[in-house]
Amino acid sequence: MAEARIEIFRKMLASDASNTAVRFGLANELLKLERWDEAVAELQTYLSQSNDQGNAYGKLAQALERLGRSDEARAAYEQGIAAANRHGHPGMAQEFQLALDELI
């Protein structure tokens, strides 16, 4: 089922690569399947195309952590904190700060 959704998202992106909602959906499906490298690539593209409120940075940081890329995960959490604060989401910023504090 998840593979079918991934294929649908990929087809949609083939016709409109700038559709950030579809790209974010694809990234989420890849995260569910623990396809970390692919999810990181999609999240990075998504973040380069959108004004995210913080959520995608947290997902990116978690995927990077799973890949053992702690420095990049740290940077993603920091960007997520800044985005969350900019968009009035102090709870999300606090959650990311806690994750950042626990990051080895």
Query: Does the pLDDT value for residue 104 go beyond 80?
Result: no
Mean pLDDT to the nearest integer, 26-40: 97
pLDDT value of position 3: 87
Query: Given pLDDT bands bounded at 50, 70 and 90, which one contains residue 2?
Result: confident
Interval 40-87: pLDDT, tens: 999 999 999 999 999 999 999 999 999 999 999 999 999 999 999 999
- Residues in CB range of 41: below 8 A, 6 or more apart: none
Class of domain 2-102: mainly alpha
Q: Are 96 and 54 in contact (CB under 8 A)?
A: yes
Tell me if the pTM is above 0.85.
yes
